[in-house]
Amino acid sequence: MPHTAEWKARLHLFEDDDGTTKAHVVLDTGTTALTGHGSAHCHPADTDVPAIGDELAAGRAMRDLARQLLNSAERDIEGMGAPRSRPRQVTGWPR
C-alpha cells in the first residue's frame, strides 16, 4: 500500500550576547514533535563570518535531530519484535 506523509521542519538561528550562534530545529510529524539543538562559536583568532556560524549551528542541530529520529526508529523496530541491528563493520588496515 502506498504511503505519503508531509513533515514540517522549522529552523531557528540566533546569536547570544557572548557571540555564540545557536540553532534549534523543530520537526513536526503531525503526531509528534522533535527538537534538535546545535551551536557554534567563533574562535577569537578567526575572522567573524556569521554565515559560517549559521551553517555550523544549523548542521549540528540537524545532526542532533537525525540522531533522535534514528534512535526512535530503532526503538520502534525493536517494539515490533525485530532484533537490534548490529554495528556496522569498519573496513581498513588493522592497527
Q: Is the residue at 87 inside a domain?
A: no
Q: Is the residue at 37 inside a domain?
A: yes
Q: How many CB atoms lie within 10 A of CB 8?
A: 10
Total of domains in the chain:
1
SS3 41: strand
Instruction: Give pLDDT tens digits for 55-66.
Output: 999 999 999 999
* Pairing outcome for strands 20-28 and 33-41: antiparallel
pLDDT in tens, the chain (95 residues): 899 999 999 999 999 988 899 999 999 999 999 999 999 999 889 998 999 999 999 999 999 999 999 999 999 998 888 776 666 555 667 65
Query: How big is the chain, counted in residues?
Result: 95
Q: Is the residue at 50 inside a domain?
A: yes
Domain with 58 in it:
8-79
CATH number of the CATH domain containing 45: 3.30.160.240
Of 13, 9, 10, nearest in space to 58 by CA: 13
* Stated pTM of the model: 0.81
